Amino acid sequence: MQRFLSYGETIQQFLEKSTVSGNIRSYYDNQIFGGDSVENRYAYSLGGMIKVQTASLYGVSAGVAFYTANDLGANDTSGRELRLDPLLMGSRTSLNVLGQAYLQYQNPWLQVDVGNLLLNTPWMGTADAFMIPNTYQAVSVTVHPLPNLSIIGIREFRYKNRIQSDYHRQTLLNYNSYYNYLPNNSDGTLAFGIKGQKLGIKAAAWYYRFYDLTNLFYGTVGYTTPVLLQHFQPFADFQYAREWADGAQLAGPVNATVFGGILGIKAHFYGMSGSVFAVYDNIPQRDTTLPNGKVLPNGGFISPYTQQYSADPLYTTIMDYGLISASAAGHAWKAGFVFHPIPNLRFKYSYSWYHTAPFLPNVEANYIDVTYTPGGFWKGLSLRNRLAIDHSNPFADYHGTFIDDRLMLQYSF
């Protein structure tokens, strides 16, 4: 009887230490094409995520997360769908997926995850700007040999983008007009990274092998000073990426370089805080001929898991445009500020210049991002509006003024 009670108590403790979390999302996206015959596009979705994470038993736990997105009959999903913005949830009226399902082992210096995972690396991430994030069938190992130092190894096998219902041996390049000839039998990706911080310095280095597409080295280093004059903290960051072809060279003889930097200063005054910044990125010209005969001037630089999403880590990328998504050589500047008039209100503005002529028309973009999180009784609630006003956007096959507005209401629990 005593053994039965102890088993029962153990099960009860196990269940009590397991967690349930999630979110509810109501998103509305609106794309306006001013002064042109292109139809304006919109999409609405109500949905969210619920996740169960078991308690740890000898360091082993499991997690599952279910995602759903539903248009409630609001979207143009019949006929030619000329007024539908497919980025939010595709052309479906309802999308339901088991996005995460994994086993995890964890101790103070090691974490191993196996299964359907969220990955958080610069060039393989969640791109979680809409209803459902990117997820990956993968094995991920993270080692913490020293405080503030992490070493990561990842082997990814299959991928599910934001609007797919299942995993496939594909990348986003399979849906890119330059690379739509790629076969649907990708061998996945191998990645290694190391990152750390000390005395205001942060640095990271990553290597990706996108099998039969390209190899990618990516490094960043940044420094933030101690607080000066009681209010100010200058900061600077630098990024560098190098790609070269891999294996069967399905993306052509890739040979590309990207580099950039950011300078800025943070400030704190009487409960208010913010920063100002100036940013630069450059992709030198190097013509590369793809297997389908198309010629790209950017050395063939590719980003298989962010290309159409504008979710790459370049400092000058905004929510709907950037040098990587443009697939063009050139350089970009961005200047702006972030301002917190009160702790739960964030206002961001930036102005960007993308100089890619004669390969693509130059693009100028205003970007405004306002987020309010009331806190208190409404802890977990956030209201966010992201607005981009692009003067020409060849990535959207449009060369007039393009307005991209995204209203995002979320409650996290």
The answer as to whether 11 is a domain residue is no
Nearest-CA neighbor of 235 among 201, 259, 203? 201
The number of distinct structural domains making up the chain is: 1
Q: How confident is the model at residue 17 (pLDDT cuts 50, 70, 90)?
A: confident
Task: Please tell me the predicted confidence (pLDDT) of residue 391.
Answer: 85
Q: Is residue 8 part of a domain?
A: no
Examine residue 5 and state whether it is found in any structural domain, yes or no: no
**In a domain? residue 32:** yes
299-353 pLDDT, tens digit each:
999 999 999 999 999 999 999 999 999 999 999 999 999 999 999 999 999 999 9
In a domain, 95, yes or no: yes
Reported pTM: 0.92
- Specify the pLDDT at position 39: 85
pLDDT of residue 4: 43
Question: Cβ distance 307 to 296 under 8 Å?
Answer: no
Q: Which two tokens stand for residue 12?
A: 């009860």
Nearest of 333, 323, 261, 260 to residue 296 by alpha carbon: 323
Question: Containing domain of residue 91, as a range?
Answer: 19-412
Does residue 214 fall inside a structural domain? yes
Q: Percentage of the chain with pLDDT > 70?
A: 95
Nearest to 260 by CA among 336, 315, 221, 326: 315
Question: Which of 38, 119, 115 has its CA nearest to residue 311?
Answer: 119
Q: What is the CATH number of the domain that holds 119?
A: 2.40.160.10
Confidence of residue 14 (pLDDT cuts 50, 70, 90): confident
Least confident of 100-109, 111-120, 213-222, 393-402: 393-402
Identify the CA nearest to 399 among candidates 84, 29, 30, 38: 38
Question: Where does the pLDDT of residue 1 fall: very low under 50, low under 70, confident under 90, or very high at 90 and above?
Answer: very low
Q: Look at residue 396 in the predicted model and tell me its pLDDT.
A: 55
> What value does the mean pLDDT of the chain take?
93
Residue 126 CB partners (closer than 8 Å, separation 6+): 118, 119, 120, 133, 134, 135
Closest C-alpha among 112, 123, 118, 129 to residue 171: 123
401 is a domain residue: yes
What pLDDT was estimated at residue 394?
Answer: 65
Please, what sign has the CA dihedral across residues 240, 245, 247, 252? positive
Examine residue 9 and state whether it is found in any structural domain, yes or no: no
